Amino acid sequence: MLDEGTAKKKTPINLTDLADRFGSDKGSTKHRYTELYHLLFHPYRGRKINFLEMGLLIGGPEQGNDADRETTDLPSIRMWLEYFPKAHIHGLDVSDFSWFDHDRFTFHRCDMDDRAAIAKSVAAMDAPDIVIDDASHASHHQQNAFLEIFPKLPSGGLYVIEDLRWQPDTYEVPGVTKTAALLRSYIDTREFQHSDPAVAAEFNALIPEISACIVHPVKYQKKRRDQVAVIHKR
């Protein structure tokens, strides 16, 4: 019989349990994203990957607060550092999190309204194997980031966009095609359709690099609104 200490070491780490422990809304208390992420990311756990999360703490300018707000925690970054013990975790946000010190964490401050700034931030890191966009949730921000970052992913990389059902009034631009609708147009027709022909052309140029695009509804319930997308790099 295993003693208690050995039994604890043998217990597999469940991502939802980590989310709940660190207070991330990705876990069972709210979005349940970690149920999907554990399924997708578990094969990467023991690998020396590069991981990028954009949007590090709820309550930024997308909710009417100043970008220079005081930040005191990084729930999901703490979760990722424990879940991926060999990964280098990159965090990107419009607010300042440079106070967080860890040898496997690098912070990049970036305004998602500035596409050139996104490109500069990504150029300063090794190509990410996994990307999660949990930033402002504004449609044009999500689309700017995808166009700059997805081409940098290696083959087999995963790109995730969260909270497709909600766009903030503080940032959303009238007339810009919602990201959920943009992705659904590709799923339905195998062509990206966008109100801006130039943006549509940029997305369509990436089709040869996409092996799968899957959009999940809120809490994986069939009749709920689009919530989280996973795009796989060919």
- Spatial distance between the Cα atoms of 126 and 106, rounded to a whole number of angstroms: 11
- Spatial distance between the Cα atoms of 33 and 217, rounded to a whole number of angstroms: 11
Q: Residue 225: helix, strand or coil by DSSP? A: coil
The answer to whether 54 and 63 have CB atoms below 8 angstroms apart is no
Q: Is 140 a catalytic residue?
A: no
DSSP secondary structure string for all residues of 117-133: HHHHHHHTSPPPSEEEE
Please tell me which residue in 137, 140, 141, 194 is annotated as part of the active site: 137
Q: Residue 49: helix, strand or coil by DSSP? A: coil
Instruction: Please give the backbone phi and psi of residue 7, each rounded to the nearest 5 degrees, phi first.
Output: -60, -40
Residues that are catalytic? 137
